[in-house]
Structure formats: C-alpha cells, structure tokens
Structure 1
Amino acid sequence: MKLLCLLTLPTVALSFNSPSAFLRRPVHHSPSTPTTLHGEYGASGTSFYTTTEKQDSYDDLDTILDAKCPDPMLRTVICEMLDACADITEALRTALVTVEGSSNTFGDAQLSVDVIADNIMWDACKDSKVIKDGASEEDPIVRTLNPDQEYTVCWDPLDGSSIVDNNWAVGTMIGIWPKSTGLIGATGRDQVTSLVALYGPRTTVLVVLDDGVYEFTYGCTPEGCQLSDGTFAPWICSRKDIKISEDCKIFAPANMRAAQDLPGYKELLDHYMKEKYTLRYSGGLVPDVYQQFTKNQGVFSNPTSDASPAKLRLAFEAAPFGLLVEKAGGKTSDGTSGGSVLDVEIKAVDQRTPLCIGSANEVERFNDMVCMVK
C-alpha cells in the first residue's frame, strides 16, 4: 500500500499516543470576547458536533478486514480501491484546478483534477488482480479490462466539480458488483461492497463490510499513522459499525428548483424551516450525504420534475451511497415510487434517478409528501 502523504493537518487529528503540542496550547480570550457556546451571538443551539471520543489505540486496515471481510478477493479489491483513493489524495494536494481543454460524454468541461482522478482509477482497475470490468461516470461505458477476473467496478472519480475550485470538500464514489450479475440488469442491492471517499482536511473512506459500515482514515505522516504499538499503517479504522438514527434535525435539500413544480417538496422545505432543522448543504453529493455518518443523522433530498429533472447517476452515485446508508440503518427512496433505490434495475450505464436518502423517518416523510406514497 502507498505510504507517502503530503497531509499536514491530520497530524494533529490522528496523534494517537500523546496530545499534540498544538492541542496543549492554552487558549486566551479577550475580556470582551464571549466564551459561552449559546446565546444571541454564540454558537447556534442547533449546531451538531461529533460525539466520537479519542481512543487509546486504533486498528489498522488489515486487522479489520481479516475480522470483518473473510473473502480474500473482496479484501483485495477494497485494498486496491483504497490505494487509488490515497493516490487521488496526493494529486489533490498538488494539482491546480484548471480547465483541461476537453469535455466528457455529456459535454461538460473537464477539470485537470477530474482527469487526474479518473486516470488513477482506470490505472488501478487495469492493474487489479480481481477487477474484470470498469466504468467511469466521465465516460459511462463498461469496458472489459481483465476478462478472467471477478468484479465490475463503477466510479465517479471526483464528485464536486462545481465546488472543487472553491477548495471545498469533494469525493470519490465506488460501487462494486460481482461477475455473476455484472452491471446491466443488476440492482444496487447486488453490490458486494461500496466505498465513498471524502477529501477534506483529512481523507476518510466509508466501506461496507460484512456486519456494517466502517470508516478508514488515511495516513497523517510520510510513514503512515502511528499505532499504539509504535508501528505505522497507511490506513487506520477511525470508526466502527456506524449507525444512522431514525430521526434527524439536519437537512440537505438539492434540486430546490423542483419545488416550483412539486407542491409537496415546497411543503417539505417549509416543514424543515418551520421546525428549525439545521441546513447543511454544500452542493457536493459526497459531503452532503457523508455527514449522515459523522453526525449519525440527516436527510438528503433530490426529487425530480418535468422542468427540473433529477441528474444523479444510479450506478455511479445513488447505488454506492444507498448501500452504505441502508447498511448503517438508514433508508433510501427512488423518489417516485417510494421504494428503495437499491431495488431499481440498472438498465443503462448512465441511468439517472431522483433520490432521498438518510434517516428512515425523514425518508418516509419525503415519500408521503413528495412521492405521495400511501
């Protein structure tokens, strides 16, 4: 596995054996500076902070996979995809965000970082010991790479092209299907696993394993992350068996233009505001759904209408995230029938879908108000 890393901020976040000198530095407040967390000018009472406590030691990737993923081929493809995410991390730290001078299949201008991330994914699949077919959201054609191997891998190499120039968090989404189903004619439920990487101040990746969803954090030093025994590992397991609660007070509303055509969606948005839900929406699918795993709650909605059709890709975006959310106890909706997005048959590589995803009771509310499911 790759061990090189240019990240500096995570050195603070992932110092496992002793607090950083930075964290020990005393905080000085001006006498005129309010120190209360709440009040007229303090932090909002609807703010949500992590409840994850620092551990004395962390398991590395191999330890978790040995315990939670007995299939050696599946362990291999997970490690290969994590290696690719590590390489994309390095590229994002050094590549400028500029127009590449070319466009993808949909006519969208490609950015330098999009192309780099996509090339890294293709190279990882071509060099794989277990991947048979690959398909990229940038060029949605299933291509056979290693005919005798097992898995079909679909990926969105760098979701968030409209916000990456702002230096906001972006991510990679990966769905993995077995040879027995392939992609066309399969559903999201046929996936053997899925991974979603978030590239922010640190790189973290959600992975579906046998008994739930686990988060892995990428190395904080050139040697990797230091474990309690003094050894180093490129990936540590930062959170285990993550759960998404049935209720939430965080909402991320996409495609709000559709509220002009869908009275139920407008009513739903009004409900969120009237009931003082907290808006957490960046316009990037990965950070806007990933927060459900860090806050253990939340709902993301992207309905469709004739004037404002949904544009999410079923195979590259909705299915990988759908598997993660449902494995963590959340719920998904296909945005029309109210059924799980994981049960929608993939009839075309570039198939689009509406989506609601997250805390189960809020997805049910979406179904009742927007899909008119009775």
Structure 2
Amino acid sequence: MQTLGEFIVKKEHDFPHATGELTALLSAIKLGAKIINRDINKAGLLDILGANGVTNAQGEAQTKLDKFANDALKAALEARTEVAGIASEEGIVIFKGEKAKNAKYIVLMDPLDGSSNIDVNVSVGTIFSIYRRTTAIGLPITEADFLQPGRAQIAAGYIVYGSSTMLVYTTGCGVHAFTYDPSLGEFCLSHEKVRYPTQGHIYSINEGNYIKFPLGIKEYIKYCQQEDEATGRPYSSRYIGSLVADFHRNLLKGGIYMYPGTASYPQGKLRLLYECNPMAFLAEEAGGKATDGTRLILDIDPYPNELRQDLKIDPKKLLHQRSPLFIGSQSMVEKVEQLIAESSKNIF
C-alpha cells in the first residue's frame, strides 16, 4: 500500500514542480483534510451544523462548518514556511513575518464545497489550487498574486468526504486519487492516472432552474433525454448539489457537470479562481474539457491589462468573480458548446 507522501517521493522525477516544498505544502492540505473529515464524521454529535449568523464577502450565509473548515486549512497552511498567503470565499489572508515574505507559494481554496448538504448527511468536499507567487521573493505578496490565469497553476485538487474520504490531485502529470484509511491515518493510492471514460452517459445540472436557462442549454438537456442507440441516449440525470461530488462521480463514470448562467445570474454562481480553475486543471489532465460555453476555463485571464490600468477596480473584488462552467467528458462538453453556438446564431 502506497501513501500519498511515498507516491510523491517515488514519482518526483515525473512531476515538474514536485519539490520538497510542494510536498510539504500538500502535507499541510492533507492534515487540514484529516481534521475536517474527523469532525464531518461527528457532525450530528458536535455543534457544527447549520448557519452561524454570519455572511461572507458575497453576502451569502456562512455555515458553522464553512468557518471551521476555513480555519482548519488556514492554520495548517500558515504553520508551513512554504505558503505566503491564502484566499477563499472568506477573503484574502496575507501571512505576516519573514517566512511568509520568503515563501514561494499561494493557495486558493473552497474549504467546504456544498456545505448546505452536510445537515442531511450528503457528500461535500474541499477544493484547492496552488500557484507560484508573482511578487518578488522577500517582499510581502499582494492581492494581484491571487489573480493569475488557470494555466499558471502548478497543482490543484480536491477532497471528497463521502462513503470514503478521497484526495484527488494533479501537478500536470496526470490525475491521482488517494483513499483515506482511518486505521492508518494515511491517504493511500487507490486510483493512479485517472482518465475520463471515452463515452459519458451522465449529465449533472440543477433542472429546477430550467425555465431560466439559455436556449442552448435547454436544447442540450432535450438532446440528453432523447432516445438514440448509437450514442447510448437517453443519458442519466444525476445531481448532488456539490461540485466536488458531482465532478468526482462523472470523472470515474463519464459525464458532464453544468452550471450555466441564468436570467438571475448571467455569469453563473461558481467562482472562477477557486472553484472553476482547479477543477478545469484536473479535467484536462484526465482527458476531459472545461469551458464557460465558448472559452476554455484555463485560458480566462481574471486580471487583464485593461482592469490593471483601471485604478477604480479593487483587486480584492476580482477574487470572487464568477463564471459559467461546463466540465467533464470531452465529447459531451463539445456537444453543449455546439448547441450554445447554434442557438446564438438563431437569436441573431
């Protein structure tokens, strides 16, 4: 049985960024995941369910477990000398002190994706994304360090807390999954070089919002529901309401996850930097695709030159920018892109 630490050391020559520093950083995330996993498994016994009466930077209600997960990961990462700062839906935290000024990495994360599910014992997850800082070593980092395109990621991954707890990550050399063995207290290799199945048969979308979807998305849902023996349709509809859980199932089984813009939320509700980008990195490394309907997610620049030159733009607000997301098996993503493009032509 091969642990996460052993795997990274053994494969270090395959990973362009698998330095000892990155290994230590992943160990901090692993520790945070163990702490979160421990308390999630006792959620009905501890006072960590429900809202805590606080709203986050976007005005959304924060749950007790949101704050707990954020604090656990922040503490684990701040204790390391490799991390200069972190960012999440709770905001940007720039670590202080000389060790932070000399640290090479920053981490963006969604500490508890799908947190509303925890009250009813449904799978939730943690998403993380790792970049090299852009500010010179020896200086404090700035908000701009967190506004890098997805292509600049050197590692990304997620932890899914379900019937078993799994950590899935990539450093740009394939996607690897590790299952937590509580008897050992270790994440052990269970899936090496995970790839999307050639043909997917699952589509994941909140069809309760159907009336608000753009025409191209409605056409794709109809396409999924039509009978066609050659393509194995109709496809199965599966939606958990946690990006991590839905993505994980579709990665292993083959499928597509969709969170389009709607009449109420034209840019969707998922955050580009700490939700869409890390999952897109994983998807592409597993042979899949991730777009906003027209552009590859990883090619979107969250802080283009025109915004850098606009002194009225607060970089802190750009951290939480949203994007539509279509992610999963390549052929399925390309089909929905095709229908979106065709519907746009018909409108004009």
TM-score normalised according to structure 2 size:
0.82
Question: What do residues 291-349 of structure 1 show as CA deviations (whole Å, max 9, x unaligned)?
Answer: 12322x110111113434301001110011111111111011122xx221011112321
Q: Distance in 2 between matches of 1:169 and 1:183?
A: 32
Equivalent position of 2:127 in the other structure: 173
* Alpha-carbon distance between aligned partners in 2 of 1:319 and 1:67, rounded to the nearest angstrom: 27
1:283 aligns with 2:241: yes
- The alignment's TM-score, normalised by the length of structure 1, stands at 0.76
Structure 2: distance between partners of 1:101 and 1:253: 29
One-letter identity of the residue aligned with 1:343:
D
Q: Secondary structure at the match of 2:177?
A: strand
CA RMSD of aligned residues (A): 2.0
Report what 1:220 is aligned to: 182
TM-superposed CA distance for 1:135, in Å, is: 0.7
Mapped pair 1:159 → 2:121: no
Determine if the alignment matches structure 1 residue 119 to structure 2 residue 76.
no
Query: For the residues of structure 2 that align with 1:157 and 1:357, how far apart are their CA atoms?
Result: 21
User: In the alignment, is residue 332 of structure 1 matched against residue 294 of structure 2?
Assistant: no
Q: Which amino acid aligns with 1:304?
A: G
Distance 1:88 1:313 in 2: 22
Match for residue 88 of structure 1? 36
- Letter of the 2:32 partner, please give it: A
Distance in 2 (CA, whole Å) between partners of 1:355 and 1:246 is 20
Q: 1:78 to 1:255 in 2, by over 3 A?
A: farther
SS of 2:91's partner is strand
Output the CA distance in 2 between the equivalents of 1:213 and 1:312: 22
Report the alpha carbon displacement of residue 90 of structure 1 after superposing the two structures with TM.
0.9
**Matched residue of 2:41: which SS?**
helix
**Amino acid of the residue matched to residue 199 of structure 1?**
Y
Deviations 1:64-98 (A, max 9, x none): 10122342111111111111111110121223413
Where does 1:20-59 land on structure 2 (aligned, <5 Å)? 58-59=1-2
Q: In the alignment, which residue of structure 2 is the partner of 1:140?
A: 91
Question: What's the counterpart of residue 320 of structure 2?
Answer: 350
Structure 2 unaligned residues grouped into runs of 5+: 13-17, 136-143, 227-232, 304-317
Equivalents in 1 of 2:145, 2:322: separation in Å?
A: 15
Q: Which residue of 1 aligns with 2:337?
A: 367
Compare the two structures and name the one with the higher helix fraction: 2
Which residues of structure 1 form unaligned runs of 5+? 1-57, 225-233
Question: How many matched pairs?
Answer: 303
1:313 correspondence with 2:271:
yes
2:23 equivalent to 1:67: no
**Match of 1:131, as an amino acid?**
V
Amino acid at match of 1:302: Y
Give me the whole-angstrom Cα distance separating, in 1, the residues matched to 2:50 and 2:216: 40
CA contact (8 A) 2:149 2:301 kept: yes
Matched AA of 2:299: D
Q: Distance in 2 between matches of 1:93 and 1:183?
A: 35
Identify the range of structure 1 (90-99 vs 195-204) with the bigger mean alpha-carbon deviation.
90-99
Are residue 301 (structure 1) and residue 258 (structure 2) matched? yes
SS at match of 2:158: strand
CA contact (8 A) 1:258 1:304 kept: no
Q: Which amino acid aligns with 2:24?
A: T
